[in-house]
C-alpha cells in the first residue's frame, strides 16, 4: 500500500509518520485504510504550543496555502478543534494519548506504551534527541493566555490540561 510498501522495501516491518495538523477525522480515514493501525496522540499545552509556533517566525497555516493562523485566537480555535476531535473518537478506537509535558519530564509509562504497540521502545535513545528550541519568550503575555484559555477551554479540558 501507499506507505507500507516503501517501508518494506527498505527492510522495515512497521512504519509510521508524524503529522501535527491531523485530527480524528484523518485518523478515522487512516484506520479505514489500515485497519491494524494504532495512533499515538502527543498533545502539547496550547500556551506552550502557541508560544513555540509564534516565536519560530514560521508561517502557521490552518489550511495551506490559503488560510493562515495569524493570532492567538485563531490558533486557539484551531488547537481546540483538533483536541476536541480526538476526544470524540468512539470507544475502542486504537489510540494512546501522551502529553508532551509528561513525555519530556519522564512521566510516561513506556512499558505500557511498548506493550500496547507490540514493539520495543528505547526511550533513552528517543529522548536523547534535542527537541524544541523555537520559543524565545519564557511565557506568553497575559492577554495571549487569556485569549487561548477562553478559545481552547473545551479542548484543554478534554485533553486533561488546566489553565
Residue 150 has a pLDDT of: 98
What pTM value is reported for the model? 0.86
Q: How many helices (H) and strands (E) does the chain have?
A: 9, 4
Domain ranges for the chain, please list them: 4-158
Residue by residue, pLDDT tens for the chain (163 residues) are 677 788 889 998 888 888 888 999 999 999 999 899 999 999 999 999 999 888 887 777 777 788 888 899 999 999 999 999 999 999 999 999 999 999 988 899 999 999 999 989 888 887 887 766 677 788 899 999 999 999 999 999 999 998 7
Give me 2's grid cell. Answer: 501507499
Please choose, from the candidates 58, 41, 52, 31, the residue with its C-alpha nearest in 3D space to the C-alpha of residue 144: 52
Amino acid at each position: 500500500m501507499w506507505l507500507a510498501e516503501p517501508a518494506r522495501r527498505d527492510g522495515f516491518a512497521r512504519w509510521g509518520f508524524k503529522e501535527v495538523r491531523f485530527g480524528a477525522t484523518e485518523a478515522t480515514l487512516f484506520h479505514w485504510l489500515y485497519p491494524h493501525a494504532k495512533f499515538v496522540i502527543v498533545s502539547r499545552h496550547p500556551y506552550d504550543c502557541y508560544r513555540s509556533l509564534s516565536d519560530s517566525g514560521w508561517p502557521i497555516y490552518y489550511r495551506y496555502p490559503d488560510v493562515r493562523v495569524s493570532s492567538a485566537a485563531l490558533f486557539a480555535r484551531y488547537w481546540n478543534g483538533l483536541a476536541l476531535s480526538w476526544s470524540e473518537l468512539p470507544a475502542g478506537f486504537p489510540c494512546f494519548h501522551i502529553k508532551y509535558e509528561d513525555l519530556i519530564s519522564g512521566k510516561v509509562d513506556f512499558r505500557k506504551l511498548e506493550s500496547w504497540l507490540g514493539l520495543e521502545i528505547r526511550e533513552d535513545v528517543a529522548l536523547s534527541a534535542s527537541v524544541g528550541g523555537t520559543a524565545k519568550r519564557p511565557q506568553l503575555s497575559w492577554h495571549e493566555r487569556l485569549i487561548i484559555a477562553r478559545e481552547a477551554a473545551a479542548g484543554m479540558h478534554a485533553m486533561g490540561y488546566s489553565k
